[in-house]
């Protein structure tokens, strides 16, 4: 088993355990730079990494009553068909150089968006309250499905978006939802979305299964340790470092 991959999975797991974000957005750049995977295989492998690592979290949040299944369902109504359509288009047209360029550009944009979301996380709630006063409650289901559609395309093209960006969109549309229910709902939505997108990429041959196994072996204890270390490093400091890292990776991918 690749010790470097296990160590990388452990490191990402620690950061996820400490901040609650950063899994996919950190893993894909690592797969590109450290393991020299091409963007398509990096994205496909990361989608499976996300689906597996978040499954336990989704189950835990469900049993704790932290999932608003109505919101999760509305997001999935938009995201799953969008993911299937995006991947079907890749199959139908053939995975050309144009698709490779689209995946790379989408990855860079998703990393930059995630950096912005992470750096400004506490502001989304206040912004959501202002938005709530301007939109009719009857529009929220439609807007939620549309947000899911955007996430479905973004996740299929970049493997990034179902975590931090998904949580930000939930907070904007449902600012009165308790923070733990935002997190639980976001994770519950992310698992089926990343699984569907992961299956699509697997059928295109875009998954390094041996590397995925080594990453998972490291990430599971890493997440547990990270959860225990949250008191050692102030969260604002950790989030600032994470945002800078994501922005740097995004700019590097785009250029």
Contact 185, 71 (CB under 8 A): yes
Highest mean pLDDT, choosing among 106-110, 164-168, 196-200, 250-254: 196-200
Look at phi and psi of residue 133 and say left if phi exceeds 0, alpha if psi is from -120 to 50, else beta. alpha
Number of folded domains in the chain?
1
Tokens 């995630």 found at? 114
Positive or negative torsion for Cα 220, 8, 41, 76: positive
Domain that holds residue 217: 3-254
In sign, the C-alpha dihedral spanning 213, 225, 185, 238 is negative
The model scores a pTM over 0.85: yes
CA–CA distance, 20 with 55 (Å, rounded to integer) = 14
Least confidently predicted of 19-28, 37-46, 143-152: 19-28
Question: Is 61 in contact with 188 (CB distance < 8 Å)?
Answer: yes
Which residues have CB under 8 Å from 165's CB, separation 6+? 110, 113, 114, 117, 151, 154
Residue 17 reports pLDDT greater than 90: no
Report the pLDDT value the prediction gives residue 230, as an integer from 0 to 100. 63
Taking the C-alpha atoms of residue 205 and residue 148, their distance in angstroms, rounded to an integer, is 26
| Confidence at residue 148, expressed as pLDDT on a 0 to 100 scale | 97
């Amino acid at each position: 088993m690749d010790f470097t991959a296990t160590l990388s999975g452990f490191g990402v797991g620690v950061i996820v355990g400490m901040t609650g974000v950063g899994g996919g957005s950190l893993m894909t750049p690592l797969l590109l730079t450290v393991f020299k995977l091409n963007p398509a295989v990096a994205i496909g492998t990361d989608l499976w990494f996300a689906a597996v690592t978040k499954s336990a979290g989704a189950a835990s949040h469900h049993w704790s009553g932290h999932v608003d299944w109505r919101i999760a369902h509305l997001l999935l109504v938009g995201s799953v068909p969008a993911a299937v359509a995006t991947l079907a288009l890749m199959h139908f047209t053939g995975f050309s150089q144009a698709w490779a360029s689209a995946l790379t550009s989408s990855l860079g944009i998703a990393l930059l968006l995630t950096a912005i979301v992470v750096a400004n996380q506490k502001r989304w709630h206040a912004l959501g309250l202002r938005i709530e006063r301007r939109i009719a409650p009857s529009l929220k289901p439609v807007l939620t499905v549309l947000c899911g559609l955007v996430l479905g395309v973004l996740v299929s093209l970049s493997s990034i978006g179902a975590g931090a960006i998904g949580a930000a969109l939930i907070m904007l549309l449902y600012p009165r939802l308790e923070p733990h229910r935002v997190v639980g709902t976001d994770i519950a939505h992310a698992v089926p979305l990343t699984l569907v997108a992961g299956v699509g990429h697997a059928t295109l041959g875009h998954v390094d299964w041996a590397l995925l196994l080594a990453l998972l072996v490291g990430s599971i204890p890493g997440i547990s340790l990270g959860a225990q270390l949250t008191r050692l490093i102030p969260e604002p400091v950790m989030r600032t470092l994470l945002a800078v890292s994501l922005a740097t990776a995004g700019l590097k991918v785009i250029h």
